[in-house]
Structure 1
Amino acid sequence: MAQYEQVNVRGYDEFCKAVSERQGKDIFVYFSGDKDAQGKSWCPDCVKAEPVVKGELAHLPEGSVFIYCQVGERAYWKDPNNDFKKTMHLTAVPTLQKYGTPQKLVEEECLKAELVRMMFTED
């Protein structure tokens, strides 16, 4: 039995709802490009990073929340006015972030298991 809650959301509104329902908990968010019907993201770095991030989930703090957020289709992501870029100041996918803190891993950093583990285990 996992000691954390995993939530899968798609888009900014679903993301905001998931976060607001879990206030007061440690929330870690993995932002990825949308997946197609075959389950493959349009973002090649996201495809490479996902198994690394998922492989470290056992290190999440007890009682924490892991949100897997698909940010949208490639065209939406490329729009500089999309909500993720404008409101959350995301610069790239994949991004792994400890919500509400400056702690985040971007692009290639998400491919390094030791960095992912550090984010999950350090206060």
Structure 2
Amino acid sequence: MSLKLYTAQGYEAFQQVLETIGKGKRVVALFTGSKSLSTGQSWCPDCVVAEPIVEEVIKEADVAALDVHFVTVFVGNREVWRDPAVGFRTDPKLKLTCIPTLLEVGNKAKRLLEGQVANKNLVKEFFTEE
């Protein structure tokens, strides 16, 4: 039992990762703005702040030992993300309204939004609470 890490670029890739993982497993996803190839930084300032905090938490022993499939999902550039028809916004299982969003797939009640994802204690609780 241990944390398994995945990355997906875009909605279709995220769906493929979910198929690979299979049903009945705990999947946690961080939805974040895609990074610029030239700078390596996301266009989303809140995502730039939140990502290292989430990475730090998942490297800690008590979280790393959990049986969780963790997916970092890059939602695309600003134009893609702003499109109201993008799959991340329209998928009834996701219904994303902002990024960064940390959510447990299949558990609508379990999500952290924007500034909450930059709070290390909230992120840690998110992973360790059943």
**Alignment TM-score, normalising by the size of structure 2:** 0.89
CA distance in 1, matches of 2:112, 2:36: 24
1:68 paired residue among 69, 72, 84: 72
Structure 1 equivalent of residue 19 of structure 2? 20
Residue correspondences, number: 122
Shift of 1:25: 1.4
CA distance in 2, matches of 1:62, 1:109: 21
Shift of 1:61: 5.3
CA distance in 2, matches of 1:36, 1:17: 23
Structure 1 equivalent of residue 36 of structure 2? 36
Structure 2 equivalent of residue 108 of structure 1? 115
Structure 1 equivalent of residue 54 of structure 2? 53
CA distance in 2, matches of 1:60, 1:67: 14
CA distance in 1, matches of 2:107, 2:84: 23
CA distance in 1, matches of 2:87, 2:19: 16
Residue type at the aligned position of 1:8 = T
1:29, 1:96 within 8 Å by CA — same for their partners in 2? Answer: yes
Gaps of 5+ in 1: none
Shift of 1:62: 2.4
Q: Deviations over 1:55-88 (max 9, x none)?
A: 1103155221110000011001011111100112
* Greater Cα shift, 58-67 or 68-77: 58-67
Identity %: 34
**Alignment TM-score, normalising by the size of structure 1:** 0.94
Confirm whether residue 10 of structure 1 aligns to residue 9 of structure 2. yes
Structure 1 equivalent of residue 90 of structure 2? 86
Q: Deviations over 1:12-37 (max 9, x none)?
A: 01100101221221111000001011
Runs of 4+ in 1 over 2 A off after TM superposition: 60-63
